[in-house]
Amino acid sequence: MANAASRQRKARPGNESGWVKEHGLLLANIGLFLVFFGGMILSGAAAYSEDQLSHGEPAVTALQYLGTGAFLEATFENWESEFLQMGMYVILTVFLFQKGSSESKPMGRVAPQDKDPRDAPLKEATPWPVRRGGWILKLYEHSLSIMFLLLFVASMALHAIGGSEEYSSEQQSHGQAPVTVLEYLATSRFWFESFQNWQSEFLAVAVLVGASVYLRERGSPESKPVAEPHYQTGA
């Protein structure tokens, strides 16, 4: 018995690899984000420095580039569109369906996501807001879309701040007056930057929703089982 307990204790540190496996999807995406974000900063600083030198101004380091309006604008105009896409997708999938798509809830029956949490049996592992009830539960049952909305608004505001700084710098280099953040929001440039990103995000979602009716990816939860009929809706 002692030997068995000893083996169990020695096996527990191995749970570290289990933790990595359990969180692999999140860790991989965070890792890819950091790699590509680092590449964006380095290449962005190089491009910004080239533009500076062409105008007779000093180049900047990667650290200095992080404090420029160009960095804020380039970063948050993209983040803004991503958070808008994901937030709208979360909301639209509550009400809308696509027959045959793995991205849609099943049709003709109640999906688990539609069940009222107030009717669920309470357990120790039940999320605290569900056990608490009231307005806290009301917020919690819409917390995913609220989070994306707040991230979208914050990113849009930072896009406007960085964009107005960069736009003002360009204006001044041409002997024109700088603009405020509110004035920049009224420019066609701000909306062009936003719309060019927004349209691509919703195109990608439309392709995924439509393609998942007919195409498969074995092993992916974003796909139906390979042998499942095209008309089968949901996972």
Q: Is there a contact between 151 and 83 (Cβ–Cβ < 8 Å)?
A: yes
Confidence of residue 1 (pLDDT cuts 50, 70, 90): very low
Q: What is the pLDDT of residues 57-82, one digit of tens each?
A: 999 999 999 999 999 999 999 999 99
Helices (H), 55-176: 62-65, 69-95, 128-132, 134-140, 143-173
Q: d(Cα 140, Cα 134) in Å, to the nearest integer?
A: 10
Q: Which of 146-155, 195-204, 221-230 has the lowest mean pLDDT?
A: 221-230
Is the pLDDT at 204 greater than 70, yes or no? yes
pLDDT at 2: 47
Q: Is the pLDDT of residue 198 over 50?
A: yes
Q: What is the average pLDDT across 89-99? A: 95
Work out the average pLDDT over 175-187: 95
- Amino acid at site 77: E
- Report which of 210, 202, 225 is spatially closest to residue 100, judged by C-alpha positions: 210
Domain locations in the chain as residue ranges? 1-66, 69-235
Lowest mean pLDDT among 40-44, 76-80, 230-234: 230-234
Q: What one-character DSSP code corresponds to residue 66? A: T
Residue 36, pLDDT above cutoff 50: yes
Check residue 156 and give its pLDDT: 98
**What distance in Å separates the CA atoms of residue 235 and residue 225, rounded to the nearest whole number?**
8
Give the pLDDT of residue 110: 87
Residue 203 to residue 211: CA distance in whole angstroms: 12
Q: What is the pLDDT of residue 137?
A: 96
- Residue 16 has what pLDDT? 66
Q: Is the pLDDT of residue 12 over 70?
A: no
What type of residue sits at position 218? R
